Amino acid sequence: MVNLIGTYECKVDAKGRLMVPAAIKKQLVPILQEGFVLKRSVFQPCLELYPMAQWNQLMKKMGGLNRFNKKNNDFIRKFTAGVKMVEVDTNGRLLIPKDLINFAEINKEIVLSSAIDIVEIWDKQKYENAIDGGTEDFADLAEEVMGNVNENELP
């Protein structure tokens, strides 16, 4: 598993291509050849870029769901809607398909934000709005999510 670090601002051209910032590209070097999967985020108006190994791990987990259960089947369909395989080309660019640009309402300026083992791709203004929203809310969220975890309980 790759642990990505950093938040990077860059631009998307009219064709939907973005130049992957050198700092994140350097972190991705060991997995560039495998390719990536780009998909809509479930909870936010952004895109998620999965290294192929992380995507395969997630698909294995989802493959264990009973497809004869309607909720499972509906979830799988919606989760994988609009999923695209993408690659970083020899010039260091990544092409974001138009349907995904429209979903995330991406304009010219974007933010690539590491989220442990994936990269979120945001329209810059939407990212800033999401991050700036409620400092107290984040403190409460941090306490709720991590407050009951002791270091000796971590894997």
Rounded to whole angstroms, the Cα distance separating 147 from 60 reads 30
Entry pTM: 0.86
- Percentage of the chain lying above the pLDDT 90 cut: 66
pLDDT of residue 90: 87
Question: Has domain 7-124 been given CATH number 3.20.20.80?
Answer: no
Cα-flanking dihedrals φ and ψ of residue 71, to 5°?
Answer: -60, -40
Question: Residue ranges per domain, the chain?
Answer: 7-124
The torsion of the CA quartet 56, 119, 116, 29, rounded to 10 degrees, works out to 80
Q: What are the per-10-residue average pLDDT scores of the chain (155 residues)?
A: 84 94 85 92 95 94 93 94 93 95 95 93 95 73 78 60
Per-residue model confidence as pLDDT tens digits over 43-56: 999 999 999 999 99
Q: In this prediction, what percent of the chain has a pLDDT beyond 70?
A: 93
Q: Which two tokens stand for residue 77?
A: 């369909």
